[in-house]
Amino acid sequence: MEQDQFSLLLHEYLSGTISAERAGELLSAMEDAAAMERLQSIITDQLNNGVFNQNLALPQTHGRIQAKLQEAIAAPPARRIRLWQRMSAIAAVLLVAVGIGIWLTGRKTPHYHAQHIPQHIQPGKQGAILTLANGKQILLDSMGNGTVAMQNGTEVRLHNGQLHYKAAAAQNEAVAFNTVSTPRGRQFHLVLPDGSMVWLNAASTVTFPAAFTGAQRIVKITGEAYFEVAADAHRPFMVQSKDSSFTQVLGTRFNINAYPEESYTTTTLLEGSVKTGNHKTAMILQPGEQAAIHLSATQPVLVKRADIEQVMAWKNGYFDFNNLPLEQVMRQLARWYNLEIVYEKGVPDIHFGGKLSRNVSFEGLIKGLEKAGLRFRMHGERTLVILP
């Protein structure tokens, strides 16, 4: 197993976002000493990056981790897993304390500490608002399992935090359009009437009919959404987003980022084939490609190879800030932690790197940003002022 893959498995385990299948991969990797040595290398690299505060007593802590690693390598398999679990708790203190390796390139850490960390600011969670065809709004955060509404014969059910549309036979009534929206600090998963699945990132919306009855399946989004579209060769699936951008598919997996504050609408294809563009031009994407459409709609569609891991980080429970400018990083954090970002004297020309769990507390985020070298202050309830 490559070190990058092992590092990602470790991150998922420590952040609590690892799936059962991925956990099995991690535990299987722990069966050989080479994997344990790679884990030690990962932690050592984190320690040597210079992002840790000297008050953490690094030599002593690092020594304890090394001792646990050596003990786990020599232990029988059953005991090795128990030792691994205890050792990972120690590693988590180091890794999560700095946001799983968040740093700024080329900047030294100033002796600056937040004077006040608001306790009411929390990382995002699952939840959304459903707006029915008649304008009625339903807060899905507090709803239990069961039927939420009936829309022209279609049953809308909430099950384990997911919204499902069970379409009845075709109705003669007018099409009933529903909208699911996620405020800042929320994300959500729903299943459309045709069986297609949609994951919404924070501050996003998807509008769709309660039953697909026409020759096309058309939905509209703002913000960011990941789709797994149910195949239907007779009814193409169409996603419409800002500035007349569209994505047309038959059955595939793809991600669309169409936040109004971003300069581009991007469509990233993971599997299958899509046609994406605007009223002036369009391109057919292959798996692993990303198309970017400028808001002005005067530039052609730009296609490049995508960093799939970075694109899908939000759905997989973490941020991937590799080589992102400060302003783009702050927009992501603002949506997830429901913050307003203000730059006191312009946007500093700095870039980030590394990954950050979306479960990290606001206090953990603040401490990580401080260790990364960023200077800021809180203003009011939710405004983070970035200092020069």
Q: Any idea where the domains of the chain sit in the sequence?
A: 3-97, 127-311, 318-386
Specify whether domain 127-311 bears CATH 2.60.120.1440: yes
pLDDT for the residue numbered 175: 84
Residue 18, pLDDT score: 59
Cα 222 to Cα 199: distance, rounded to the nearest angstrom: 12
Residue pair 128/182 in contact by the 8 Å Cβ criterion: yes
List of E strands, 264-344: 264-271, 274-277, 282-285, 289-294, 302-305, 318-320, 340-343
pLDDT-based confidence at residue 351 (cuts at 50, 70, 90): confident
Summarize the confidence of residues 358-375 as an average pLDDT: 85
Integer Cα distance of 6 and 39 in angstroms: 7
pLDDT at 368 over 50: yes
Q: How far apart are CA 180 and CA 188, in angstroms?
A: 9
pLDDT(268) > 70: yes
Other C-beta atoms lying within 10 Å of the C-beta of residue 4: 10
Q: CA angle, corner 190, sides to 189 and 192, nearest 5?
A: 155
Token pair 């099409």: residue:
175
What confidence tens digit (pLDDT) does each residue in 142-169 have?
Answer: 788 999 999 888 899 999 889 999 877 6
Q: 322-333: per-residue pLDDT in tens?
A: 889 999 999 999
Give me the mean pLDDT over the 340-360 stretch.
Answer: 88
> pLDDT higher for 119 or 343?
343
Mean pLDDT across 346-355: 85
In this predicted structure, which of 46-60, 222-236, 301-315, 318-332 has the lowest mean pLDDT?
Answer: 46-60
The 10s digit of each residue's pLDDT in 331-349 is 999 999 999 999 998 888 8
Looking at residue 104, what is its pLDDT? Answer: 39
Amino acid at 314: W
Nearby residues of 85 by Cβ (< 8 Å), 6 or more positions away: none
The CA distance from 102 to 94, in Å, is 12
Looking at residue 250, its pLDDT comes to 80
51, 103 Cβ separation under 8 angstroms: yes
SS3 content of the chain, % helix, strand, coil (to 5): 30, 30, 40
- The span from the CA of 343 to the CA of 371, in Å, is 19
pTM above threshold 0.75: no
Distance CA(137)–CA(130), nearest Å, equals 6
4 pLDDT band (50/70/90 cuts)?
A: low
Pairing between strand 129-131 and 103-104? Answer: unpaired
pLDDT band per the 50, 70, 90 thresholds, residue 20: low
Copy the structure tokens of residue 370: 């401080």
Same fold, 127-311 and 318-386: no
Task: Give the pLDDT band (50/70/90) at residue 244.
Answer: confident
**How many residues are listed for the chain in this entry?**
388
Q: Which fold has domain 318-386?
A: Phage tail protein beta-alpha-beta fold (3.55.50)
Buried b (16+ CB within 10 A) or exposed e, 243-269: eebbbbbbbbbbbbbbbeebebbbbbb
pLDDT for 32 beyond 80:
no
Q: Tell me: the pLDDT tens digits for 56-95?
A: 333 333 444 444 444 544 555 555 455 455 444 444 434 4
Work out whether the CA dihedral 85, 86, 89, 95 comes out positive or negative: negative
Least confident of 46-50, 157-161, 380-384: 46-50
